[in-house]
Structure 1
Amino acid sequence: MAAAQITAATVSSRSVPTFEGLRSSSVKIAAFVPLRQGLNQRVFRPVVVKAATVVAPKYTSVKPLADRVLIKIKEAEEATSGGILLPTTALSKPQSGEVVAVGEGRTVGKNKIEIGVKTGTQVVYSKYAGTELAFNGSNHLLLKEDDIVGILETDDIKDIKPLNERVLIKVAEAEDKTAGGLLLTEASKEKPSVGTVIAVGPGPLDEEGNRKPLLVAAGNTVMYSKYAGNEFKGKDGSDYIVLRASDVMAVLS
Structure 2
Amino acid sequence: MATINLASVSAKGFASFNGLRATDAVQVSFFTPVKQSGGSQKTFRGLVVKASTTVAPKYTTLKPLADRVLVKIKTAEEKTSGGILLPVTAQSKPQGGEVVAVGEGRTVGKNKVDISVKTGAQVVYSKYAGTEVEFNGANHLILKEDDVIGILDTDDVKDLKPLNDRVLIKVAEVEEKTAGGLYLTDASKEKPSIGTVIAVGPGQLDEEGNRKPLSVAAGNTVLYSKYAGNDFKGADGTEYITLRASDVIAILS
One fold, TM greater than 0.5? Answer: yes
Q: Corresponding residue for 1:3? A: none
1:233 to 2:233 alignment: yes
Correspondence for 2:19: none
Deviation per residue, 1:37-57 (Å, 9 max, x gap): 975996979978451111111
Alignment map for 1:95-174 (pairs within 5 Å): 95-174=95-174
Tell me how far apart the structure 1 counterparts of residues 34 and 201 of structure 2 sit (CA, whole Å). Answer: 54
For residues 89 and 252 of structure 1, the distance between their equivalents in structure 2, rounded to whole angstroms, comes to 40
Matches within 5 A, 1:178-189: 178-189=178-189
Shift of 1:23: 2.2
Which residue does 2:203 correspond to in 1? 203
Question: Structure 2: how far apart are the matches of 1:31 and 1:187?
Answer: 26
Q: Matched residues in 2 for 1:160 and 1:199: separation? A: 8
Q: Once the 2 structures are TM-superposed, how far is the Cα of residue 36 of structure 1 from its aligned partner?
A: 11
Change (3 A) 1:79 1:43: farther
Deviation at 1:114, TM superposition (A): 0.1
Residue 26 (structure 2) pairs with residue 23 (structure 1): no
The aligned counterpart of 2:65 is 65
Q: Deviations over 1:55-111 (max 9, x none)?
A: 111111110000000000000000111111110001111000000000000000111
Q: CA deviation at 1:248?
A: 0.3
TM-score of the aligned structures, taking structure 2 as reference length: 0.87
Task: Using the aligned pairs only, state the percent identity.
Answer: 72
Partner Cα separation in structure 2 for residue 98 and residue 187 of structure 1: 38
Query: Which of 6, 10, 13 is the aligned partner of 2:10?
Result: 13
Report the 3-state secondary structure (helix = DSSP H, G, I; strand = E; otherwise coil) of the residue aligned with 1:232. strand
Letter in 2 for 1:84: I
Q: 1:58 to 1:46 in 2, by over 3 A?
A: farther
Residue 197 of structure 2 aligns to a residue in which SS?
A: strand
Superposed displacement of residue 25, structure 1: 1.3
Maintained 8 Å contact 1:12/1:28: no
* Paired positions, count: 240
Q: Which amino acid aligns with 2:110?
A: K
**Cα pair distance change 1:205/1:135, threshold 3 Å:** same
Pair 121,42 (structure 1): closer, same or farther in 2 beyond 3 Å: same
Does the C-alpha gap of structure 1 residues 190 and 26 become closer, same or farther in structure 2, counting only changes over 3 Å?
closer
The verdict on how the C-alpha distance between 1:194 and 1:36 changes in structure 2, with shifts beyond 3 A counting, is closer
Q: Match of 1:158, SS?
A: helix
Which has the greater radius of gyration? 1
The CA distance in 2 between the partners of 1:247 and 1:14, in whole Å, is: 38
Cα RMSD, aligned residues only? 2.8
Consecutive unaligned residues in structure 2, runs of 5 or more = 1-5, 16-21
Cα deviations by residue, 1:131-166 (Å, 9 ceiling, x for unpaired): 000111000000000000000021100000000010
Amino acid at match of 1:89: T
Secondary structure, aligned partner of 1:89: helix
